[in-house]
């Protein structure tokens, strides 16, 4: 269910009210982002790397902060969760940390929407983490369609000559989900849908020519062959993508007998349709359970030989595993008679 928090917050930190201003810094580099105010943070999207090289001078006064975010230099980063309900949190990855050995601290908070700079209203949704090297941490479960802030501070009174890091946020709350992998017959149709995007912004399904409405959240797909559909959804300024596989089942016809006696008639065990399943595996056993023959995708019909030697006449037993990714298909089993 949307908007239901299923795991209680681990802690709440109270800060004095403060407005964080983005200073123009001499260390700001082309293509990098500088610190922003708490009501206008650096906005990041899920699964995107963002480099940050600037910090703003701030001063926390009043009630002490029950947190490791106590440095006088800080940057504020924001992300917005999608509409995908999840019991998992968002993972924050801090890599390329280069601050001359200075301790870097990070905390994820949920601000008050109406008063985003009132830090006394912040609710922590992660532990406070500190390191002078690369580190990763994960939040508790989050609300859908909600703004969160990542507060990053440096434990020093002055900015080191160089200080920067690369930040990435990822996890189910920053994703969409295409549903559901399925298997259909030739010329049949199936309904696909996507969860987590903003329906008001629409979607983009690809390939669009085999779906009835390539901008809808729910589509009817009629592929001629096995197709991996990609759908892109949008949440605020971010776009997210997922894939779903539709397997178009080719009828597999397995003969129950053949006569490999080199007379030019029925000399091969010709299984039709199996080569369409490119990851399929066929294994053939004799009556004692010994493996006689194995093939992936069955590109060449079996000639009744094992290591160039003709197998004896008799009954052999096969197992065909179709191995289509994302789809549960039962193995095909049976027996074939070799007649000489």
Tens digit of pLDDT for each residue in 47-96? 999 998 777 766 543 334 456 776 667 888 999 999 999 999 999 999 99
Strand bridging mode 104-110 / 123-124:
antiparallel
CB contact at 8 A, 163 and 154: yes
Residue 277 Cα to chain centre, angstroms: 25
Tell me how crowded residue 179 is: count the other CB atoms within 10 A of its CB. 14
> pLDDT at position 31, please?
38
> pLDDT at position 93, please?
97
Percent of the chain's residues with pLDDT above 90: 56
> pLDDT at position 274, please?
86
Sorting pLDDT into bands at 50, 70 and 90, what band is 26?
A: very low
CA gap 165, 50 in Å, rounded: 8
Phi, psi of 158 (to 5 degrees): -140, 145
> pLDDT at position 36, please?
54
CATH of 177-249, one of 3.30.465.10, 3.30.420.40, 1.10.10.10, 2.60.40.10: 2.60.40.10
More confident of the two residues 202 and 7: 202
> pLDDT at position 56, please?
73
> pLDDT at position 121, please?
84
Mean pLDDT to the nearest integer, 11-27: 31
- Cα torsion at 299, 300, 304, 307 (round to 10°)? -80
- CATH code given to domain 42-171: 2.60.120
Tokens of 192: 């696909």
CA gap 73, 158 in Å, rounded: 8
pLDDT higher than 50, residue 290: yes
pLDDT higher than 90, residue 163: no
Task: Note the pLDDT tens digit of each residue in 110-137.
Answer: 988 888 877 788 899 999 999 999 999 9
> pLDDT at position 329, please?
73
**Do 257-338 and 177-249 have the same topology in CATH?**
yes
> pLDDT at position 50, please?
93
Mean pLDDT to the nearest integer, 142-154: 93
> pLDDT at position 259, please?
96
- CATH code given to domain 257-338: 2.60.40
- Cα torsion at 121, 126, 127, 131 (round to 10°)? -110
Q: Tell me whether residue 35 is exposed, middle or buried, using C-beta atoms within 10 angstroms of its C-beta: 0 to 12, 13 to 18, 19 or more.
A: buried
pLDDT higher than 50, residue 152: yes
Q: Nearest Cα to 338, choosing from 267, 271, 265?
A: 267
H or E segment to which residue 127 belongs:
none
Which of 24-38, 91-105, 202-216, 314-328 is least confident? 24-38
pLDDT higher than 60, residue 3: no
> pLDDT at position 251, please?
74
What secondary structure letter does DSSP report for 302? B
Sorting pLDDT into bands at 50, 70 and 90, what band is 252?
A: confident
Q: State the average pLDDT for the chain.
A: 83
DSSP 157-214: SS--SS-EEEEEEESGGG--EEE--EEEETT--EEEEEESS-GGG-EEEESGGGBS-T
Mean pLDDT to the nearest integer, 21-31: 33
For the chain, the structural domain boundaries read 42-171, 177-249, 257-338
Q: Is the pTM of this model over 0.75?
A: no
pLDDT higher than 80, residue 280: yes
Tell me how crowded residue 193 is: count the other CB atoms within 10 A of its CB. 15
CB contact at 8 A, 235 and 197: yes
Which of 27-36, 151-160, 209-218, 299-308 is least confident? 27-36
CA gap 256, 316 in Å, rounded: 10
């Amino acid at each position: 269910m949307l908007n239901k928090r299923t795991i209680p917050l681990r802690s709440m930190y109270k800060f004095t009210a403060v407005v964080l201003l983005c200073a123009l810094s001499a260390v700001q580099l082309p293509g990098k982002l500088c610190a922003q105010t708490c009501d206008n943070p650096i906005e990041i999207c899920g699964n995107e790397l963002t480099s940050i090289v600037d910090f703003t001078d701030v001063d926390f006064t009043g009630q002490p902060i029950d947190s490791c975010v106590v440095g006088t230099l800080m940057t504020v980063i924001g992300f917005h969760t999608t509409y995908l309900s999840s019991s998992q949190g968002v993972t924050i990855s801090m890599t390329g940390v280069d601050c001359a050995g200075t301790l870097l601290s990070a905390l994820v908070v949920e601000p008050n929407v109406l008063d985003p700079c009132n830090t006394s209203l912040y609710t922590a949704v992660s532990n406070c983490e500190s390191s002078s090297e690369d580190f990763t941490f994960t939040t508790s479960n989050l609300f859908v369609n909600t703004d969160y802030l990542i507060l990053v501070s440096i434990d020093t009174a002055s900015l080191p000559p160089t200080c920067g890091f690369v930040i990435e946020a990822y996890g189910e709350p920053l994703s969409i989900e295409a549903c559901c992998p399925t298997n259909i017959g030739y010329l049949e149709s199936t309904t696909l849908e996507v969860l987590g995007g903003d329906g008001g912004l629409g979607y983009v399904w690809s390939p669009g020519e085999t779906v009835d409405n390539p901008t809808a959240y729910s589509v009817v797909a009629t592929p001629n062959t096995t197709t991996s559909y990609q759908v892109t959804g949008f949440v605020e300024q971010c776009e997210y993508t997922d894939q779903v596989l539709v397997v178009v089942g080719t009828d597999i016809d397995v003969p129950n007998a053949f006569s490999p006696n080199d007379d030019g008639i029925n000399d091969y065990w010709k299984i039709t349709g199996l080569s369409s399943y490119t990851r399929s595996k066929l294994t053939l056993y004799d009556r004692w359970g010994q493996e006689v023959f194995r093939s992936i995708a069955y590109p060449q019909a079996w000639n009744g030989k094992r290591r160039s030697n003709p197998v004896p006449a008799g009954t052999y037993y096969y197992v065909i595993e179709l191995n289509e990714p994302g789809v549960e298909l039962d193995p095909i089993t049976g027996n074939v008679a070799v007649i000489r």
